[in-house]
Amino acid sequence: MPLLDLLPLAASESNLLAAREQMAFTLAFHIVLSCIGVALPATMMVANYVGLKKGDEHALELAKRWSKAMAVTFAVGAVTGTVLSFEFGLLWPEFMDRFGAAFGVAFAIEGIFFFVEAIFLAVYIYGWKRLAPWAHFWSGVPMVITGIGGAFSVVAANAWMNQPQGFTLNAAGEVVDVEPLKVLFNPATGYEVAHMVLAAYMVVGFLVASIYAVGMLKGRRDRLHRLGLVIPLTIACIATPVQLFVGDTAAREIAADQPAKFAAMECIYETGPDQTEYFGGICTEDGVKGAIGIPGLDSFLVGWSTDTKVIGLNSIPDDEEPPAHTLLHLSFDAMVGIGSALLGLALWFALAWWKRRDIPQTPWFLRAVSVSGGAAIVALWCGWIVTEVGRQPWIVNGYMRTSEAVTEAEGIWFTFGLVLLLYAGLGTGAVLVLRGMSRRWREKGAEEVQSPYAPQAEEAS
Amino acid sequence: MSKADAAAAILWVGATFYALFGGADFGGGFWDLVAGWDERGQRPRDVIQRSLTPVWEANHVWLIFVLVVLWTAFPSAFSAIFTTLYVPIALAALGIVLRGAGFAFRKSIVGLRERRAMGATFAISSVLTPFFMGTVVGAIAAGNVPAEGNGDAFSSWLQPLPLLIGAMFVASGAYLAAVFLVGDARRGDHEMESYFERRALGAAVVAGALAIAGLFALHSEARYVFDRLTAEGLPLVVLSLLCGAALLIVLVRGGRRPLRPLAAGAVIAVVWGWGVAQFPYLLPTSLRIDQAAAPDATMTTVFIVFAVAAVVVLPSLGLLYTLAQKDLLESDH
């Protein structure tokens, strides 16, 4: 059903739909790799630090393995990120033409962070054998900063599309003056950046932990697996409660600043107080079908009182209304639902650790952790669907419609098809390569765990 | 120098770095492609892989840098280029994906068949990608990109000059790579050293021949650029020729130094010769640099970003190259 809402009204809009689908698909693919680039370095550095400080070979081995895995994901992320830069011009040339001067700045800054990350990642990944252990550790630290800096720049650009400011247009609609700081620090930057960085830490934390949880369920209950589960899971479990707080703040900000998006994602049709909060269901013009509704809760969440007036879709001009209400509503609910479930998992883990300094002893805990990584990714995608589809029909909220931005070039359905094939190969290849690495590590077993910094140790002795 | 001209210079600095280092990485793929079947090709492939592994991603970022500066500082030129040349640009993007993935995957798998398939993907796309990038540059130089964009999707680049420039991109990448690889092989491997010396020689001759053919094509298809290249740009053309000739002499006499600076000098002179020849146009002869320029504040930000890049990125890159050259970065594991 949600996909039907996306179908174009006229054949002339076919190109626009193809371009939007291709952009959405390539972004969804890339965002997972971006998360790894943003948050895996910190996870690695924690393991590396523990390893060096306590002489813990298992922790060092984990850091080493994660860095080898990141060599693969970073390469795939670098090329899929490049595809996105090309798509700005290939799919949305009018957008770049009119607004590149305003929001391009954010990407220029991102370029520097990406540069530094690529450089130090190479030093870190390939420096295991021949750099001194602590020098090697410090060569990885810049990645933690550049990951967050890069996320800031890119998400600031997206936040600007939601809350554009910091530019002056002339009568012809051309950008004639720019205030770069206002572009970068627009009203949506704060919550979007925090939300995304925390999401990256959650995705990586739960994803890495889930890999080791699967291993433990298969009976590999050695120390390496326990550490491989506990380190990333701890990071994710610290990020999760903060994320729910940030997300809650973001929703209130969106209610105030982007009422059309908020109305669509909450299925609010009539402006007014006492709005019902709907969980699930299908949004129709005659109201929400099949949902669990709590009267007044939506108004309460927006303004701490059931009297809070919330703008409904009837107050939004028809041609400025976001499409696919049900998709938006269900995506939002799925994101919040998964986030809450992950919070439950975090509390379970925290409680067990506090009581017994150990993970919960039931296999159900490992089962929960093993699906948490996938769930976190689904939540991430749902959040971006709300952000991006919820901004439609605008590409620059209130200033430029997505239909005005799209290329006149034909054949986007064709390139989209090619991209689907190409990325299917890319994704399959990456997964196979990573699984192969993991299998080889398992087969080599203990002797490789001995000494990641072996050559130094040999030279020293 | 106006702010717009300075921003164009920054664009050219980025393009120069990309031509040198990104170009050499593509050239490495070219030599991988022609290295021969499994056993015969194994040693040169090892040298190439060792040399590329720690640096190719960092080198690739120069392309992102060029794109970002182009769309931020000269958004209308970016849009005009992408709405006209979307076919070769999309093919280059496809090549970038296959090159990067093929290289990264080949390194991390063990099966021979899979390694062959990934290696072929990496190597073939290392040739196609610079070729299509070259056709884009050639089409711009030929004046086939109208300022308002949406030029003809095929006749804009399926012309002798763009195709020649595409071939020249491949050849000059191969030339740079062979010269760089002579140095990388030198650390102890005399056989590989002379292997890449011979190839550097061959590539230099081919690149030179293509450059001369390119001049004729410029004369007939890009008269504005030809006229300026042979006047204002002449010193750079001469410099490029001198570097190329000196390198040939050094190679033939089996000399040791300074191979890399000479090869780099030849390529740098060509990139800047192209810039001088186009000046003051971004898209000859329909869009001048000042017409395409973003507002002042945007340009100032681009300068700040460039300054930060010079202070932060260049020393980091220097560190990476130094560590790699000192064999402190181990690519086998």
pLDDT tens track for B160-193:
999 999 999 999 999 999 999 988 876 677 888 8
Residue closest to B65 by CA, chosen among B22, B94, B99: B22
Residue A354, domain member (yes or no): no
Residue A134, domain member (yes or no): yes
Q: Which residue of B has its CA nearest to A175?
A: B295
Please write the tens of the pLDDT for every residue from A112-153.
999 999 999 999 999 998 899 999 999 999 999 999 999 999
CA distance B267 to chain A (A): 23
pLDDT > 70 fraction of chain B, expressed in percent and rounded: 98
Task: Name which of B53, B57, B86 is nearest A78 (Cβ-Cβ).
Answer: B57
* Contact by Cβ (8 Å): A156, A186: yes
Region A144-168: mean pLDDT is 95
Please write the tens of the pLDDT for every residue from A222-252.
999 999 999 999 999 999 999 999 999 999 9
Contact B329 A130 (CB under 8 A): yes
State the pLDDT confidence band at A12, using cuts at 50, 70 and 90. low
Residue B1 carries which DSSP code? -
Three-state SS at B283: strand
A96-105, A175-184, A451-460, B235-244: least confidently modelled range: A451-460
* Tokens (6 digits) for A279: 């969980």
Task: Name which of A75, A94, A112 is nearest B312 (Cβ-Cβ).
Answer: A112
Question: With 60 as the cut, is the pLDDT of residue A48 above it?
Answer: yes
Neighbours of A323 (CB within 10 A): 17
CA distance B34 to chain A (A): 24
Neighbours of A7 (CB within 10 A): 11
Count of A–B CB contacts within 8 Å?
227
Distance (Å) of CA B306 to CA A47, B21, B69, B210, B314:
35, 18, 9, 33, 10
Question: With 80 as the cut, is the pLDDT of residue B7 above it?
Answer: yes
Substitution target in B55, B62, B71 with the highest count of A β-carbons within 10 Å is B71
Contact A422 B316 (CB under 8 A): no
Task: Name which of A72, A102, A108 is nearest B305 (Cβ-Cβ).
Answer: A108
CA distance A210 to chain B (A): 22
Three-state SS at B281: strand
* Tokens (6 digits) for A98: 């009119």
A80-84, A444-448, B92-96, B232-236: least confidently modelled range: A444-448
Q: Which residue of A has its CA nearest to B297?
A: A178
Question: With 90 as the cut, is the pLDDT of residue B252 above it?
Answer: no
Q: Which residue of A has its CA nearest to B67?
A: A85
Residue B137 carries which DSSP code? H
Measured CA to CA, the distance from residue A206 to residue A32 in angstroms comes to 13
Residue A136: give the domain boundaries: 15-253+410-460
Higher pLDDT, B220 or A460: B220
* Tokens (6 digits) for A177: 């003056």
Q: Which residue of A has its CA nearest to B62?
A: A115
Measured CA to CA, the distance from residue A363 to residue A216 in angstroms comes to 9
Which chain A residues are closer than 8 Å to B89 by Cβ?
86, 89-90
Which chain A residues are closer than 8 Å to B72 by Cβ?
100-101, 104-105, 107-108
* Contact by Cβ (8 Å): B163, B135: yes
State the pLDDT confidence band at A296, using cuts at 50, 70 and 90. confident
CA distance B243 to chain A (A): 30
Residue A423, domain member (yes or no): yes
Question: Over the range A338-355, which residues count as b (16 or more CB within 10 Å of their CB) and which as e?
Answer: bbebbeebbebbeebbee
* Tokens (6 digits) for B150: 């949406």
Q: Where are the domains of chain B?
A: 3-285
Q: Which residue of A has its CA nearest to B11?
A: A108
Contact B57 A429 (CB under 8 A): no
Contact A89 B82 (CB under 8 A): yes
Measured CA to CA, the distance from residue B175 to residue B209 in angstroms comes to 13
Question: With 80 as the cut, is the pLDDT of residue A458 above it?
Answer: no
Task: Name which of A102, A114, A177 is nearest B64 (Cβ-Cβ).
Answer: A114
CA distance B113 to chain A (A): 14
Task: Name which of B68, B153, B294 is nearest A107 (Cβ-Cβ).
Answer: B68
CA distance B104 to chain A (A): 6
Contact A180 B297 (CB under 8 A): yes
Substitution target in A110, A123, A456 with the highest count of B β-carbons within 10 Å is A123
Q: What is the pTM of this model?
A: 0.93
CA distance B161 to chain A (A): 23
Please write the tens of the pLDDT for every residue from B31-71.
999 998 878 888 899 889 988 988 999 999 999 999 999 99
Task: Name which of A110, A422, A440 is nearest B97 (Cβ-Cβ).
Answer: A422
Domain count for chain A, please give it: 1
Which chain A residues are closer than 8 Å to B152 by Cβ?
none
Measured CA to CA, the distance from residue A267 to residue A386 in angstroms comes to 13
Residue A348, domain member (yes or no): no
* Contact by Cβ (8 Å): B180, B29: no
Give the CB-side neighbour count of residue B278, counting CA atoms within 13 A. Answer: 25
Give the CB-side neighbour count of residue B211, counting CA atoms within 13 A. Answer: 22
Residue A186, domain member (yes or no): yes
Residue A32, domain member (yes or no): yes
CA distance A156 to chain B (A): 15
Q: What is the CATH number of domain B3-285?
A: 1.20.1630
State the pLDDT confidence band at A410, using cuts at 50, 70 and 90. confident
**Can you give the pLDDT at residue A447?**
47
State the pLDDT confidence band at A204, using cuts at 50, 70 and 90. very high
